[in-house]
Structures are given as structure tokens and as C-alpha cells.
């Protein structure tokens, strides 16, 4: 399969490295000519500075869209209109309304559109989900998760802090990963509440998002996404009637990926605990793309599609509709 990448920043570079032997990169595009040429040189492919020129090319079957949020849906829609399959980075759009235009375009074209929620392909989270589905910790009680980083100098001037480009702040940035993972374990949420706050970064978006999501059965997911997590952190916990699953770390600056399984005995008390670590490089990007290619070739739907993105963005939209974040920073 031949691929083309739109967006040659950090994520685009990760996507290019993750292609593997079964996918050949034919062309890349970025409005920054230097970035496009540099990535193309590393992978021996063509470089464009206009994404429309790339989309119009005939030498690819899969478009991988890795741009800032304001262009994701537009470029993906143009690619499916050309009959191409698409992997579009999360959140796939800035709002449900924007995403719905892409959904309609994909239905008309009949091509496959996957959404890049790569966290589902981290080995610790995949193993945790398999254990959960097998009944290893019994019926679900609740989910608790934290995810964040501390930004960097000038972060308030980057595109992620511009609501016109990003659609919001940390909620639509890392928060959507937590929402997607919570849905993966708990199913659909019928009640959404929370608080958005700008605690530190002098930007017109939230740098912290606190969410409480509830299923029809009353199971709660308590999620916190933060740009003031000064030491990068990822922690995802699933509580069941017979035990608990906890995933810590994502590799790299987030620490070694680790799955801890706590199993209760016949009665409540100290659990039996086992831990498995997953050292080495982050292979989630490669696993996600490999899975998508196999599904396209087999005529199967993507593991994570536009309806998953829509469910996550519905929750995001509801929280943004509650009003602007509370501002508490004094810098």
C-alpha cells in the first residue's frame, strides 16, 4: 500500500517512521517547505507545500493527516472525495459539527476513515482491555485517569493554545485520549459534568480539564487532563468488583509503560498483585497503522472510526458549552 502524509511536524515524523515494510511513502506535504523537504529526503519520496496538490496526486491509496486541528476534517474530506482511505489524527475535527461534514463525505465515498487514537495500541492498555473483557476483575465499578505534561517555554503561543486553531485547550488535546479510553472500557456515557480551568498558562484556553462521566448503569469515569503536570504523567485505572487494572507510563518522558493487576480473594482484603513492564520504544504508532492496513485489505471497518471520534467530541462540546474556563493564573 502506498501512503501520503499531510503535516510533517512531530506527529507526521512519527507516522512516517511507523509505516513499516508493508507501506511505502510516496509523498509528504507541509506549508513549511523546510519540514516537507527534510521528511521527504529521509524517506526518499516527493515533497509538496500545498496539501491540495498532494491530495490530487495519483500515487497513494492511504492519506495520513497530521495537521493542527483546524485542517484535519477539511483535508480528510478532500482525500475521501478522491476515493482514498484516510487515517486522521485525533480529535479529527474541532467540534461535532465540523466532524459531521467529514462523516457525510466518508459515507458518500465508501472509503475507510480511521481516527488516530494510538493509545489503544499501547501494549499495557491492550493487555488491560483484554483482561477486562475476559472478566479478570469482574463487573466494572469505575474508571479513574490522569494525563498531563508541563508544557515548555512559550507554550501559550503555540497553536494548541489558540482556540481558533485547536478548538480548545487541554480537554481537546490530551483529554480526548482519556475520554476515548474510558469509552473503550465503560461504554457510552449519558451524563457529562466537569470544570475547565486556566490555572497557569496565560492563554485563552483551559490548561486543566476535570471530567466526571457517568454511564446509564451509574458507573463513573473521573478524568483529569493537565498542562500543569510538571513531571509528565499517565495513569489509567479500571476498578472491578474482583480487582483492579492500572496502567502507568507510556514510555519516553512518561516513564516505562507498566500494567499492574490486583486480584481480590474470596473476600475483600489485600489483593494478589502482579506487574508487567513494557520497556523499549513506543510501538503504538506502528501497531495502529499495521492494524488499519490489514483491515483495509480485508474490507473490514477500522478499529477506531469516525463514530468513536464523534462520541468523544460530543463530550468535549458539552463541556465547552458550559462556558469559558475559570482563570486562576497570575503571571
Rounded distance between C-alpha atoms, residue 317 and residue 321, angstroms: 6
For residue 325, pLDDT beyond 80: no
What is the predicted pLDDT for the residue at 48? 97
- List of residues 6+ apart from 64 with CB closer than 8 A: 3, 4, 5, 6, 12, 15, 86, 87, 88
What is the predicted pLDDT for the residue at 21? 82
Query: Region 196-219: what's the mean pLDDT?
Result: 97
For residue 33, pLDDT beyond 60: yes
What is the predicted pLDDT for the residue at 329? 52
Percent residues over pLDDT 70 in the chain? 98
134-139 own/partner pairs: CB under 8 Å, 24+ apart: 136/240, 136/242, 136/243, 136/245, 136/261, 136/263, 137/238, 137/239, 137/240, 137/241, 137/242, 137/243, 137/244, 137/245, 137/261, 137/262, 137/263, 138/240, 138/241, 138/242, 138/243, 139/240, 139/241
Q: Work out the pLDDT band at 20, boundaries 50, 70, 90.
A: confident
Query: Region 301-307: what's the mean pLDDT?
Result: 98
pLDDT, one tens digit per residue, over 233-288 is 999 999 999 999 999 999 999 999 999 999 999 887 899 999 999 999 999 999 99
Sheet holding 208-214, edge to edge: 272-278, 257-263, 243-248, 233-240, 140-148, 220-226, 208-214, 191-198, 326-327
Q: Would you say 132 and 288 are in contact if contact means Cβ atoms under 8 Å apart?
A: no
Kindly report the pTM of this predicted structure: 0.96
pLDDT, one tens digit per residue, over 92-120 is 999 999 999 999 999 999 999 999 999 99
pLDDT, one tens digit per residue, over 135-150 is 999 999 999 999 999 9
Query: Region 47-62: what's the mean pLDDT?
Result: 97
For residue 155, pLDDT beyond 60: yes
Amino acid at each position: 500500500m502506498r501512503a501520503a502524509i499531510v503535516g510533517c511536524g512531530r506527529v507526521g515524523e512519527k507516522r512516517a517512521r511507523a509505516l513499516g515494510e508493508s507501506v511505502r511513502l510516496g509523498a509528504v506535504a507541509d506549508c513549511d517547505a523546510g519540514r516537507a523537504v527534510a521528511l521527504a529526503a529521509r524517506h526518499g519520496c516527493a515533497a509538496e507545500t500545498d496539501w491540495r496538490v498532494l491530495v490530487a496526486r495519483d500515487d497513494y491509496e492511504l492519506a495520513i493527516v497530521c495537521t493542527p486541528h483546524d485542517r484535519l476534517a477539511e483535508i480528510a474530506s478532500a482525500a475521501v472525495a478522491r476515493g482514498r482511505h484516510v487515517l486522521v489524527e485525533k480529535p479529527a475535527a474541532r467540534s461535532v459539527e465540523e466532524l459531521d461534514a467529514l462523516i457525510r463525505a466518508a459515507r458518500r465515498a465508501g472509503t475507510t476513515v480511521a481516527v488516530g487514537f494510538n493509545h489503544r495500541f499501547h501494549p499495557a492498555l491492550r493487555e488491560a482491555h483484554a483482561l477486562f473483557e475476559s472478566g479478570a476483575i469482574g463487573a466494572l465499578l469505575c474508571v479513574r485517569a490522569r494525563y498531563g505534561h508541563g508544557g515548555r517555554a512559550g507554550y501559550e503561543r503555540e497553536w494548541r493554545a489558540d482556540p481558533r486553531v485547536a478548538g480548545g485547550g487541554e480537554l481537546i488535546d490530551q483529554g480526548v485520549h482519556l475520554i476515548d479510553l474510558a469509552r473503550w472500557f465503560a461504554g457510552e456515557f449519558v451524563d457529562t459534568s466537569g470544570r475547565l480551568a486556566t490555572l497557569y498558562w496565560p492563554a485563552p484556553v483551559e490548561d486543566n480539564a476535570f471530567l466526571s462521566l457517568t454511564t446509564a448503569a451509574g458507573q463513573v469515569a473521573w478524568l483529569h487532563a493537565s498542562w500543569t503536570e510538571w513531571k509528565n504523567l499517565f495513569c489509567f485505572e479500571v476498578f472491578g468488583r474482583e480487582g483492579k487494572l492500572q496502567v502507568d507510563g507510556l514510555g519516553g518522558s512518561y516513564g516505562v509503560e507498566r500494567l499492574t493487576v490486583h486480584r481480590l480473594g474470596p473476600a475483600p482484603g489485600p489483593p494478589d498483585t502482579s506487574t508487567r513492564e513494557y520497556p523499549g520504544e513506543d510501538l503504538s504508532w506502528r501497531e495502529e497503522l499495521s492494524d488499519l492496513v490489514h483491515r483495509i485489505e480485508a474490507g473490514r471497518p477500522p478499529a477506531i472510526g469516525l463514530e468513536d471520534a464523534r462520541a468523544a467530541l460530543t463530550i468535549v462540546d458539552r463541556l465547552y458549552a458550559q462556558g469559558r474556563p475559570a482563570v486562576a493564573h497570575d503571571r
